[in-house]
Amino acid sequence: MKSMTRTRQRDEMTPEQKTLRRKEFFINNSLYFFLIAAIVGIVIYDPRFLSTASIVNILSLSAANLPLALGIAGAIILSGTDLSAGRAVGLIACVSASLLQMAGYPNKMFPSLGVLPLPVVLLIALAIGGLIGLVNGFCVAKFRLHPFIVTLATQLILFGILLMYLMNGNNNGQSLSGLDPSYTQWITGSFLKIGGTAIPNYVFYSIAITAVIWFVWNKTVFGKNMFAVGSNEEAARVSGVNVTATIIGVFVLAGVLYGVTGFIEAARIGSNSAATGLNYELDAIAACVIGGVSFVGGIGKIRGVILGVVLLRIIFVGLTFLSIDANLQYVIKGLIILLACAIDMRKYLKKR
Amino acid sequence: MKRKILIFLMIFCLTIPLLSACGMGRGSADVHVFYYTYSDAYVSTVRSALDKKLHQAGISYQDYDSNNSQTTQTEQVQTAITKGAKLLLVNVVTTGSDDAAMGIVNLAKNAGIPVIFFNREVSDAVVKSYEKCMFVGTDATEAGKLQGDMIGDYLLKNYEKTDLNKDGVISYLLFMGEKGNSEAIYRTRYSVENANAKLQQGGKPPLKFYDPSNGDGYIADREGKWSAQAANEAMTTALAGYSTANGNMIELIICNNDNMAEGAITALQGAGFNNGTGTTIPVFGVDAIDAAKELIRTGKMAGTVTQDGNAMADCLLRGVQNAQNGEALTANMGDYTVDEGVAKVRIHYGVYTGE
């Protein structure tokens, strides 16, 4: 009732409506307030939360997850999702690692291979990611299947392939490590230090990738088509958008981003097994939805994805700083995701 | 409506620190403990024992569940260090290779704090790479040796009863668990070797694998899960061809862990054995999980080998106190064995037959 009267009389603002407006502003930006409140609370509890080392830690953990979240965000904007992301990252991480093991490492998967040049392996990683995306996108677009089903299936297929891949050569199902120093250096090395804390290189790669994706989403025809298809597929089709190509494109782009994530992940952690990447998509989906990328479709901003990823990371790290019991942490994470999404959803519910 | 949400939000923000207060209740924990997963029964016994000991010693600590993910664990270690951890206790997730453990050692080294690995073994090279690094674990060969001795003693005492077809030889079946796992390999080897040594001393012939066409001398769980289910299926299959009626019944079951022993016993019960009355085939396991202890108590299982979670926790506490007092990590270890030339402390296994 209240909101109806408000919309009808929006032009003449009584003081009562002004307070309503203010409240509206508060609710719409509640995530930012939530973020600030959380940070203030944690800092009061443990000031080290805002030390340089801690900020760099949160930044780098966020950066490692950002490309994956950006990929999934595309799928969510199409009112879909992507459950295969984590396993895709795992497979790509293992392939990258196996191709970049030190020459002479005793358990090297391909002993005769030597060490491939980094750009070649990066391209292979992107290609595998793109291929996975192509399969996902093709099935969604051509067979009219819901992405949930398609990616549930590809998730299983990818895990099977990953397990088989790990049995290759003289690896025998063990975890892959012994990475070439040039590779780990390129990913986790650092050319910039702030207050004695080194910022790992992949943070900058992640920032660059985000800039590219921002451009794709906001400044290209493909980006505009993606939002059009996401908000109303039929309308988009009628107005001449190639829906099939757009859907496939979004999934391929997502796949390529998983390629980047996998390539970074392999060197960041240094040890890659069948468990690598497991459930990564869940954190990423949570981050997207927290950041206002709506499952309704057609709604989402790069800013939101970044905010979501960072917010989720601050929560994870914050819970550690608050010394909360690990069992309870799962409960709290769940509640926070629920709460943040519920608040965010209100905006869109009202618009519809 | 909006106000309600706001109030809820505020209450929620306020509750988080409160929850922490009822959790550990200390602002900055000194000792940070990373468990590879909270789901592992044995590791959980270590956790509850260690929590208690650290609490009693007045040492502030914080526990982490790495949830079987090396990524999660490495990130948790990073965060703990930025939080000002003074000591790390790490139950590392990845054991097949050094890189993950090495990464954690390097993080500790950069922060200048000691790191103690436990339970899941890290290589000598990792421990030696940093003077403030130690490993606390078991000797992988010991469980198999103890199990073998226990089997040998049991058979010498109950030879006539066990030898169902009275051919003078005991036929056995062995469930290996995971192929290629060093614990599984050692247990498989030493359980039979030590049992045979005992039998030889007692003037009896060595054990004979039940299936002459199987040259391996064990049945491996193809998925490497050490699971009750896999052992149950394999046992059921074996029982189809081997029975007292055929005069070739399997007379001894050796399992490399208790889960598999449970599975095998369920299958035996389906065939009319091990019901507490009538014929009982001796089944031996490793781990001494509660379910196995219960089976032993009711006479359905013969024995198991205990990993002493309490001793592990005790040993870890000694390491923590050594670090606090500025002594060598491996000092004051009392009865625990320290490996020669490398800072690795060994907890002993014990035999459990319910007596």
Q: What is the DSSP string of A151-179?
A: HHHHHHHHHHHHHHHHTSTTTTTPPB--B
Interface contact flag, B38 A326, Cβ < 8 Å: yes
> Looking at the domain assignment, is residue A9 inside a domain?
no
> Looking at the domain assignment, is residue A127 inside a domain?
yes
Q: What is the crossing angle of helices A201-219 and A221-231, to 10°?
A: 70
pLDDT of residue A11: 55
* A contact test, residue of B2, B3, B225 with most A CBs within 10 A: B2
More confident residue, A291 or B96: A291
More confident residue, A176 or B316: B316
pLDDT of residue A111: 84
Q: Choose the final residue of a domain: B306, B321, B338.
A: B306
> Looking at the domain assignment, is residue B253 inside a domain?
yes
**Is pLDDT of B128 > 80?**
yes
Q: Band the pLDDT of A129: cuts 50, 70, 90.
A: very high
For residue A332, CA distances in Å to A36, A54, A192 come to 18, 21, 35
CA distance A201 to A192: 8
Measured over all CA atoms, what is the biggest interatomic distance in chain A, rounded to whole angstroms?
79
Choose the closest CB to B63 out of A34, A176, A326.
A326
Q: What is the crossing angle of helices B70-82 and A243-269, to 10°?
A: 60
Torsion from C-alpha of B227, B229, B230, B235, nearest 10 degrees: 120
Answer whether B344's CB lies under 8 Å from B116's CB.
no
Average pLDDT value for residue range B189-209: 94
Residues 6+ away with beta carbon under 8 Å from B212: none
* B contact test, residue of A177, A194, A311, A347 with most B CBs within 10 A: A177
Instruction: Give yes or no: residues B185 and B317 share one domain.
Output: no
pLDDT of residue B183: 82
Instruction: Give yes or no: residues B223 and B247 share one domain.
Output: yes
Answer whether B182's CB lies under 8 Å from B226's CB.
no
Choose the closest CB to A323 out of B5, B62, B97.
B62
Nearest CA in chain A to B26: A323
**Is pLDDT of B307 > 60?**
yes
Task: State pTM to two decimals.
Answer: 0.74
Instruction: Give yes or no: residues B340 and B214 share one domain.
Output: no
pLDDT of residue A214: 97
Answer whether B281's CB lies under 8 Å from B273's CB.
yes
Contacts of A339 in chain B (CB under 8 A): 8-9, 12
Nearest CA in chain A to B13: A38
Average pLDDT value for residue range B169-190: 87
CA distance A262 to A282: 16
Contacts of A342 in chain B (CB under 8 A): 5
**Is pLDDT of A240 > 80?**
yes
Counts of helices then strands in chain A (DSSP H, E): 15, 2
Lowest mean pLDDT across A197-211, B15-29, B135-149: B15-29
Contacts of B29 in chain A (CB under 8 A): 323
CA distance B81 to B61: 13
Q: How many CA atoms lie within 13 A of B158 on its CB side?
A: 16
pLDDT of residue A315: 86
Domain tally, chain B: 2
> Looking at the domain assignment, is residue B15 inside a domain?
no
> Looking at the domain assignment, is residue A341 inside a domain?
no
Helix (H, G, I), strand (E, B) or coil at B209: strand
Answer whether A119's CB lies under 8 Å from A83's CB.
no
Backbone angles phi, psi at B303, to 5 degrees: 180, 165
Choose the closest CB to B71 out of A49, A269, A336.
A269
Answer whether A129's CB lies under 8 Å from A256's CB.
yes
Instruction: Give yes or no: residues B96 and B168 share one domain.
Output: no
pLDDT of residue B5: 54
More confident residue, B1 or B333: B333
pLDDT of residue B13: 52
pLDDT of residue B187: 93
> Looking at the domain assignment, is residue A32 inside a domain?
no
> Looking at the domain assignment, is residue A23 inside a domain?
no
**Is pLDDT of B223 > 80?**
no
Interface contact flag, B78 A172, Cβ < 8 Å: no
Helix (H, G, I), strand (E, B) or coil at B213: coil
For residue A227, CA distances in Å to A73, A75, A294, A298, B225 come to 11, 11, 12, 5, 46
Using alpha carbons, select from B139, B130, B141 the residue that is nearest to residue B108.
Answer: B130
**Is pLDDT of A66 > 90?**
yes
**Is pLDDT of A173 > 90?**
no
Average pLDDT value for residue range B139-167: 93
Helix (H, G, I), strand (E, B) or coil at B252: strand
Instruction: Give yes or no: residues B130 and B82 share one domain.
Output: yes
**Is pLDDT of A88 > 60?**
yes
> Looking at the domain assignment, is residue B9 inside a domain?
no
Average pLDDT value for residue range A141-168: 92
Backbone angles phi, psi at B248, to 5 degrees: -125, 25
Contacts of A23 in chain B (CB under 8 A): 2-3
Contacts of A61 in chain B (CB under 8 A): 75, 78-79
How distant is the Cα of A328 from the closest Cα of chain B, in angstroms? 9
Residue contacts between A and B (CB atoms, under 8 Å): 140
Answer whether B111's CB lies under 8 Å from A57's CB.
no
Residue whose pair of structure tokens reads 């990823």 in the numeric block:
A309
Interface contact flag, B12 A335, Cβ < 8 Å: yes
The tens digit of pLDDT for each residue in A241-254 reads 999 999 999 999 99
Nearest CA in chain A to B38: A327
Instruction: Give yes or no: residues B300 and B152 share one domain.
Output: yes
> Looking at the domain assignment, is residue A261 inside a domain?
yes
Average pLDDT value for residue range B269-293: 89
Q: Could you report the predicted ipTM of this complex, rounded to two decimals?
A: 0.73
Among residues of chain A, what percentage have pLDDT more than 70?
94
Average per-residue pLDDT for chain B: 87
More confident residue, B265 or A177: B265
Instruction: Give yes or no: residues B260 and B318 share one domain.
Output: no
Instruction: Give yes or no: residues B292 and B174 share one domain.
Output: yes
Where do runs of H (alpha helix) occur along chain B? Answer: 2-23, 41-56, 70-82, 99-111, 124-128, 140-157, 159-162, 182-201, 228-241, 258-270, 290-297, 309-324
Using alpha carbons, select from A259, A209, A203 the residue that is nearest to residue A89.
Answer: A259
How distant is the Cα of A209 from the closest Cα of chain B, in angstroms? 22
Residues 6+ away with beta carbon under 8 Å from A188: A200, A201, A202, A267, A268
Domain of A212, in residue numbers:
67-285
More confident residue, A343 or A109: A109
Choose the closest CB to A23 out of B2, B14, B70.
B2
Instruction: Give yes or no: residues B113 and B171 share one domain.
Output: no
More confident residue, A64 or A343: A64
Which helix (H) or strand (E) segment holds residue B120: the answer is none
Domain tally, chain A: 1
> Looking at the domain assignment, is residue B4 inside a domain?
no
> Looking at the domain assignment, is residue B285 inside a domain?
yes
The tens digit of pLDDT for each residue in A190-225 reads 888 887 788 999 999 999 999 999 999 999 999 999
Interface contact flag, B82 A343, Cβ < 8 Å: no
Contacts of A346 in chain B (CB under 8 A): 5
What burial class does residue A18 get, using C-beta atoms within 10 Å of its C-beta: 0-12 exposed, 13-18 middle, 19+ buried? exposed
Contacts of B3 in chain A (CB under 8 A): 23
How distant is the Cα of A194 from the closest Cα of chain B, in angstroms? 14
> Looking at the domain assignment, is residue B2 inside a domain?
no
* A contact test, residue of B38, B60, B75, B88 with most A CBs within 10 A: B75
> Looking at the domain assignment, is residue A328 inside a domain?
no
Interface contact flag, A325 B98, Cβ < 8 Å: no
Residues 6+ away with beta carbon under 8 Å from A112: none
pLDDT of residue B26: 43
Instruction: Give yes or no: residues B37 and B177 share one domain.
Output: no
More confident residue, B95 or B121: B121
Domain of B333, in residue numbers:
27-138+308-347
Among residues of chain B, what percentage have pLDDT more than 90?
55
Question: Other CB atoms closer than 10 Å to residue A12's CB: what's the count?
Answer: 6
Q: Tokens in use for B297?
A: 């108590």
Contacts of B81 in chain A (CB under 8 A): 53
**Is pLDDT of B55 > 80?**
yes
CA distance B139 to A200: 38
**Is pLDDT of A181 > 60?**
yes
Instruction: Give yes or no: residues B130 and B161 share one domain.
Output: no
How distant is the Cα of B333 from the closest Cα of chain A, in angstroms? 30
Interface contact flag, B94 A175, Cβ < 8 Å: yes
Interface contact flag, A177 B98, Cβ < 8 Å: yes
> Looking at the domain assignment, is residue A157 inside a domain?
yes
Q: Band the pLDDT of A273: cuts 50, 70, 90.
A: confident
Average per-residue pLDDT for chain A: 87
Lowest mean pLDDT across A114-128, B131-145, B205-219: B205-219
Instruction: Give yes or no: residues B155 and B292 share one domain.
Output: yes
Question: Other CB atoms closer than 10 Å to residue A297's CB: what's the count?
Answer: 18
The tens digit of pLDDT for each residue in B75-84 reads 999 999 999 9
For residue B133, CA distances in Å to A220, B165, B329 come to 54, 55, 8
Average pLDDT value for residue range B31-45: 87
CA distance B224 to B220: 8
Choose the closest CB to A271 out of B9, B23, B97.
B97
Among residues of chain A, what percentage have pLDDT more than 90?
50
Average pLDDT value for residue range B287-303: 89
More confident residue, B244 or B116: B116
**Is pLDDT of B16 > 60?**
no
Average pLDDT value for residue range B121-134: 93
CATH number of residue B241's parent domain: 3.40.50.2300
Using alpha carbons, select from A179, A176, A139 the residue that is nearest to residue A155.
Answer: A139
Residue whose pair of structure tokens reads 């494109």 in the numeric block:
A249
Contacts of B103 in chain A (CB under 8 A): 269-271
Q: Band the pLDDT of B23: cuts 50, 70, 90.
A: very low
**Is pLDDT of A239 > 90?**
yes
Interface contact flag, A26 B6, Cβ < 8 Å: yes
Q: Band the pLDDT of B264: cuts 50, 70, 90.
A: very high
pLDDT of residue A2: 45
Lowest mean pLDDT across A81-90, A100-109, A146-155, B60-69: A100-109
Choose the closest CB to B75 out of A30, A61, A172.
A61
pLDDT of residue B241: 84
Interface contact flag, B83 A48, Cβ < 8 Å: yes
Average pLDDT value for residue range A181-186: 90
Interface contact flag, B97 A177, Cβ < 8 Å: yes
Question: Other CB atoms closer than 10 Å to residue A252's CB: what's the count?
Answer: 22
Residues 6+ away with beta carbon under 8 Å from B37: B43, B65, B66, B67, B68, B93
